[in-house]
Structure 1
Amino acid sequence: MKDLEGMIFTSTSGQKYLLTEKVDKQGSQGVVYEESTGKFIIKLYKKGNDYQNRNTLNKLEWLIKQSYPDQFIKPLDIFTEPYIGYAMEKVVDHVSLNKLLVPAKNMTMSEWYNEETGGLRRRLFLGYKIAMQFALLHESNRAYCDISGNNILVNKDPSVASICMIDIDNIYIPGGDSGNILGTSRYMAPEIVNKQMPPDIFTDAYSLAVILFELLRCGHPYVGDMVEDGTIEQQEQAYRGFYPYVDEEDSPNVSTQMLPAEVVFTTKLAELFYKTFVKGKENRMARTTAREFALACLEASNKVMKCSNPDCVHWHFASPDKNRKYFCPWCDEENPRPVFLQFKDRYYVEEEKTKKKVLKEERSVESFVLREEKNAVTNNYISNLYVKRDKFSKPVDRYFLVNKAKDGKFYLVNDKNSHLYLMKAGTEKMIPITRDLGPIEICYKDKVFFDDIDIDVSEEPNAEIDGKYRGLVFRYGVFL
């Protein structure tokens, strides 16, 4: 394709765009340009035969009419002459996710992972946002086809957790024309590499798992020590899954060069990656879904604490050792025990003889860390609140807040006027907490309920408890 700088392109809507400099080198599909207002990016395709050109145009006309998850940058305008292409919004202050996947050579791993790119907490939260965007796309039976670091953008500011998905012209509906979009070799599922299947949500699930693995571990799931220093051919074979998963039991392909699983994975995340890279290598149906990964990353992001060592302050999991002490894996300093909000469920049933509500059992659900800042709480998790946001990072849909004050104490704030009840430690009295009460101090073993437990079980059963009884389930949080 010839140099098009300085040319004016007119879209099908009549809008004129003056092309300026190229954004990147010419790729296999075409080329990308800046335009004079600085608000748009123009992608133009190489000319093909009549069938190929017609197919490309039909695909763009279809794409521009679709709805997408909110972090996808969609086509806004289409060109038909002299080249087929489209205009999309220019995303500013964002860089390729590759900046978080490939360690910088001019600094230590700790400096790059924690200071330059935001650390474990940000990576887990970004993982949640990335996986959830693909989960929403997959629910409409659409596959992205080319999940890679090049097509996911993240904010340059390590204190902001926002993402954007670009190049959505790769999106494919099973049964349609794939347009020969297969993916990036490092992330392609085995059945795509071997040309056994067209792209779909299962091949996307595989590619997403590789991206999330790299985001957390900074290495490829099949590139262990036996491949790391090998030939290019060996690395390509590893990408295709010819070598064992690095965390497979008794694997000869363990890695001593990427970050250890126990430092950056929860038990749940480790299980989900194992499902995809061992069981799901050949069995597509066994792979972890995008939604499963999203929820696991969100849960994990709520289990981290900041190191108290002023020379470190890196995020790490709040995991006690056998002596119940908390050590930072980055600096080996002991940290004070964090304060936890543990979610539990109470199961009530109606007693057959008296018809009274009785507590059948109580189950722990999740235990999350309260941090040195605002904690936005729902009835399932505590969500990271990033103080700095851009237009791509939206406020958290919270149920209530738990704030740590300068006096070191935690306070409950029902700013949304949600249904909320406080049971002080050692009592059984339910105190309604409303917005008008303002901040309420929370102490050790206080409980916060999301519903009033004084409800008639016979009138409003909301759950089947064990296949025999129906009753009520009350979710609450206890401060530990």
Structure 2
Amino acid sequence: MEQTVRDARGRSLPLAERLGHGAEGVVNRVKDSRLAVKRLFRRDADPGQATALESRLRAVARMPIEDLPIARPMVMLAEPDLGFVMELVDDMVPLERQMLAPYEVELVPWYLATGGLRRRLRILARIATTLATLHTRGMAYGDPSPGNVLVSEPTDQDQIWLVDPDNLAVESDGSRPAVYTPGYGAPELVNRGGRISTLSDAFAFAVMAHHTLFAVHPFIGDEIEEGPVEWEEAAHAYRVPWIDHAEDHSNVSTGGLPGRNRLVTRTVTRYFRSTFEEGLLEPRRRPSCADWAMALWQAGDAMIACGSCPGQRFATRACPWCGASSGSDLVCRIWLHAGPDVFSLDRAERSGDPDRVVGVRGWDIPAGELVAIDRGRPFVLTGRHGEIRPAAPDRPLSTVSWDGDNRIQVRNVGARPVLLVSGDRNVQRRLWPEQDAEVELRPEVPPWRLCFTSDPLSPHRQVTFDLIESTGTVR
């Protein structure tokens, strides 16, 4: 029988499938619409629950989140239901579907068929970026958990939509009680009655990231998985070490994906350890969501499709799924060009020779970022790669295409001109919007570079293109 609720405006809303659940209630799609309904669990001993929810939703409506992928509350539900209606995006499914394979299928084939490691890294990077942006605006999300996150259903996409807006709070608001999903709440919330904060968000995100990347909860070891429910409750209260603890091996897990540490970068591995060991009881020692965002974007960008199996691997390394390597990989290294020193530029300008001014070199500082290019699949360099302070990190700037030989195609898809400069700096090509160029990569000469500027003397970001032989090792 179809279940129906009514909103405060009298509209009848037929409920479709459940999209997620959190600490306070469940979220259902509204049939044949772009709406969803969150129904809260009623607390009989709290007659003011509805008034408090309405007050919270009014506060959320005033928060600066219009540019973020967070559902906005629209209208309260009518009695006897307690909850609200919110906007929804098409073709989204719960993040939980990216965590655990259905019982009837094998884990690794299912994992690769649902987007593999690269897609999960990018989904998590988007979540971390959204949380970090909230944090810079003085807000905490409150209950980051897989039941409160929707992701693109098509496996070639990685968009997100957060559906728990009623728990958003200004971090300095100490009057709000902590709300968390069991298994994801930070220790200071679970055990010490603390208040939500950016650091409790960061802990919950780390648990969610671990579960999504490796298909295993970081505190559910083998014995707890097979033991009574009380043991799981102890794990959710962090009375046991995490499954990959550096010294305490009493809660190891053989579940999830094999070889967890070789599937991600050393930075991501270090961040898990910092969160679940030093940061377990000392929140300020945890990586922030901004730290996580940077590490996850960089890890996802450094991955390419394996040519021998459905999986992905890190550039210049063998595939962790099948052991194959490609011989050579095309990688883009990102640099910050800090501009020339004042004295060299002054001497060149006083010489009256414009070629000498252009030839003045500045300081190229490695940004520590690497982008790997798939054969036959253009990679889009965005504001995140090419701008020092990107106002729109996802805005396309240039595409790089490579078919596996020693030539690459670069196309300017942004709104401003860019420069292609040869490694010896003897050749400069200005690419106007929608203009492209082909360059040849030769190992005996310095690599070509793409400068995201029309003025080579100004501070800007740039990428260099290198063909690198694979080592044939997994890590």
Q: Does 1:280 align with 2:290?
A: no
Q: Confirm or deny: 8 A CA contact 1:18 1:35 kept in the other structure.
A: no
Deviations 1:211-232 (A, max 9, x none): 0111111112233445444443
SS in 2 for 1:478: strand
Q: Confirm or deny: 8 A CA contact 2:315 2:331 kept in the other structure.
A: no
Q: Confirm or deny: 8 A CA contact 2:122 2:296 kept in the other structure.
A: yes
SS in 2 for 1:335: coil
Partner of 1:369: 372
Which of 441, 464, 468 is 1:477 aligned to?
464
**C-alpha separation between the residues in 2 aligned to 1:4 and 1:208?**
35
Cα separation, partners in 2 of 1:26 and 1:276, compared to 1, 3 Å? closer
- Structure 1 residue identity aligned to 2:280: K
Q: Confirm or deny: 8 A CA contact 1:343 1:478 kept in the other structure.
A: no
Pick which of 69-78 and 298-307 moved more.
69-78
TM superposition shift of 1:368:
1.8
Q: Confirm or deny: 8 A CA contact 1:411 1:442 kept in the other structure.
A: no
**C-alpha separation between the residues in 1 aligned to 2:167 and 2:427?**
57
**C-alpha separation between the residues in 2 aligned to 1:57 and 1:299?**
40
Partner of 2:353: none
Cα separation, partners in 2 of 1:382 and 1:332, compared to 1, 3 Å? farther
Q: Confirm or deny: 8 A CA contact 2:396 2:413 kept in the other structure.
A: no
Cα separation, partners in 2 of 1:29 and 1:432, compared to 1, 3 Å? closer
- Structure 2 residue identity aligned to 1:257: G
TM superposition shift of 1:402:
1.1
**C-alpha separation between the residues in 2 aligned to 1:113 and 1:382?**
32
**C-alpha separation between the residues in 2 aligned to 1:293 and 1:84?**
35
Point out where structure 1 has 5 or more consecutive residues left out of the alignment: 321-326, 384-393, 461-471
**C-alpha separation between the residues in 1 aligned to 2:133 and 2:393?**
18
TM superposition shift of 1:71:
1.3
Partner of 1:329: 320
Q: Confirm or deny: 8 A CA contact 2:23 2:182 kept in the other structure.
A: no
TM superposition shift of 1:145:
2.0
**C-alpha separation between the residues in 2 aligned to 1:108 and 1:143?**
37
Q: Confirm or deny: 8 A CA contact 2:298 2:370 kept in the other structure.
A: no
Which of 399, 402, 405 is 1:404 aligned to?
402
TM superposition shift of 1:285:
1.0
TM superposition shift of 1:416:
2.2
Q: Does 1:20 align with 2:14?
A: yes
**C-alpha separation between the residues in 1 aligned to 2:383 and 2:47?**
56
Partner of 1:201: 198
SS in 2 for 1:272: helix
Q: Confirm or deny: 8 A CA contact 1:75 1:88 kept in the other structure.
A: yes
TM superposition shift of 1:122:
0.5
Partner of 1:323: none
After TM superposition, list the pairs within 5 Å mapping 1:205-216 onto structure 2: 205-216=202-213
Deviations 1:93-121 (A, max 9, x none): 32211111112322222211101x11111
Deviations 1:337-378 (A, max 9, x none): 211112234553244898459757644332221123121114
Q: Does 1:110 align with 2:126?
A: no
Q: Confirm or deny: 8 A CA contact 2:70 2:161 kept in the other structure.
A: yes
TM superposition shift of 1:251:
3.6
SS in 2 for 1:209: helix
Partner of 2:36: 41
Q: Confirm or deny: 8 A CA contact 2:330 2:465 kept in the other structure.
A: no
Deviations 1:177-199 (A, max 9, x none): 43x55211211111111133112
After TM superposition, list the pairs within 5 Å mapping 1:134-283 onto structure 2: 134-174=131-171, 175=173, 177-178=175-176, 180-225=177-222, 227-252=224-249, 253-259=251-257, 260-283=259-282
Report the TM-score, using the length of structure 1 for normalisation.
0.80
**C-alpha separation between the residues in 1 aligned to 2:275 and 2:84?**
35
Q: Confirm or deny: 8 A CA contact 2:386 2:397 kept in the other structure.
A: no
Partner of 1:52: 49
After TM superposition, list the pairs within 5 Å mapping 1:428-439 onto structure 2: 428-435=426-433, 437-439=435-437
TM superposition shift of 1:411:
0.4
Q: Does 1:413 align with 2:411?
A: yes
Q: Confirm or deny: 8 A CA contact 2:23 2:181 kept in the other structure.
A: no
TM superposition shift of 1:176:
5.1
Cα separation, partners in 2 of 1:235 and 1:424, compared to 1, 3 Å? same
**C-alpha separation between the residues in 2 aligned to 1:262 and 1:26?**
30
Q: Confirm or deny: 8 A CA contact 2:15 2:31 kept in the other structure.
A: no
Point out where structure 2 has 5 or more consecutive residues left out of the alignment: 349-356, 468-475
Cα separation, partners in 2 of 1:97 and 1:476, compared to 1, 3 Å? closer
Q: How many residues align?
A: 439
Partner of 1:469: none
**C-alpha separation between the residues in 2 aligned to 1:55 and 1:360?**
58
- Structure 2 residue identity aligned to 1:95: V
Partner of 1:66: 63
Report the TM-score, using the length of structure 2 for normalisation.
0.81
**C-alpha separation between the residues in 2 aligned to 1:31 and 1:375?**
38
After TM superposition, list the pairs within 5 Å mapping 1:121-140 onto structure 2: 121-140=118-137
Q: Confirm or deny: 8 A CA contact 1:19 1:33 kept in the other structure.
A: no
Which of 320, 325, 344 is 2:335 aligned to?
344
Partner of 1:306: 305
Task: Compute the RMSD of aligned alpha carbons.
Answer: 3.4
Deviations 1:394-434 (A, max 9, x none): 99312211123698842011232534222224453333233
- Structure 1 residue identity aligned to 2:11: Y
Q: Confirm or deny: 8 A CA contact 2:386 2:461 kept in the other structure.
A: no
Partner of 2:289: 290
- Structure 1 residue identity aligned to 2:385: Y
Cα separation, partners in 2 of 1:135 and 1:234, compared to 1, 3 Å? same
Q: Confirm or deny: 8 A CA contact 2:7 2:13 kept in the other structure.
A: no
Cα separation, partners in 2 of 1:304 and 1:353, compared to 1, 3 Å? closer
**C-alpha separation between the residues in 2 aligned to 1:404 and 1:26?**
43
TM superposition shift of 1:299:
0.8
Q: Confirm or deny: 8 A CA contact 2:423 2:449 kept in the other structure.
A: yes
**C-alpha separation between the residues in 1 aligned to 2:80 and 2:221?**
48
- Structure 2 residue identity aligned to 1:335: S
Pick which of 445-454 and 202-211 moved more.
445-454
Cα separation, partners in 2 of 1:34 and 1:131, compared to 1, 3 Å? closer
Cα separation, partners in 2 of 1:79 and 1:329, compared to 1, 3 Å? closer
Identity %: 23
Partner of 1:387: none
SS in 2 for 1:338: strand
